[in-house]
Amino acid sequence: MSNHPHDEERDLHFEQIQHSDTQYESRDLGTRTLVGFVAGLGLMTFAMVLVAWGVLAFLSNFVNRERAENAPPPLTAMPQEPRKGDPALRFPEPRLEKSEAAESRRTLAANEAQLSSYGWVDQKNGVAHIPIERAMDQIAQQGLPTRPQPKAQPPAEFGSGIENNAGAGGGYWPEVRN
């Protein structure tokens, strides 16, 4: 068993315990200080909103004045003509496609007609187009044109003295001394 005097007492209250070397802050943060801080924070926020609103109003008026000074003259009313005919033809170019599939088929048909027929590309300079099948037959018979190959230089020999050959160096065999 322990010889401590508090072990025997079961009704020990914390108010009864005192430590002479322990100290606490004598005053806490008061309600008045907290309310003052929150009020000051609110006033500063409101002031910043007012400043931002004032800057926005000033810049908006400035931009509106600039636009009014540099605005083009107002358009004059054009006499209205009665609307007649196809509405698609009344709109200026480029017009939207009425049917993408039909337009695609027309383009494909025009390309096929050019690829399978003879015709002039530039008659003045004598440039013509021929059907693609005929062009492939001509290439198969004649072959594709190639560039002439440059003449190969003979390989350089070590110590040959020809300095324009790669690796020649124009050197000599080193002497072996005994």
| pLDDT at position 46 | 97
pTM higher than 0.85, yes or no?
Answer: no
Amino acid letter at 154?
P
Nearest to 133 by CA among 112, 116, 108: 116
Mean pLDDT of 156-163: 58
Give per-residue pLDDT as tens, 110-155.
999 888 999 888 989 999 989 989 989 999 999 888 888 888 777 7
Higher per-residue pLDDT: 34 or 11: 34
Q: What angle do CA 162, 165, 170 make, to 5 degrees?
A: 40
Query: Domain map of the chain by residue range?
Result: 35-64, 104-143
pLDDT category at 40 given cuts 50, 70, 90 is: very high
Do residues 171 and 156 lie in contact, with contact meaning Cβ atoms separated by under 8 Å? Answer: no
Instruction: Provide the mean pLDDT of the chain.
Output: 77
Of the listed ranges 15-19, 30-34, 58-62, 161-165, the one predicted with least confidence: 161-165
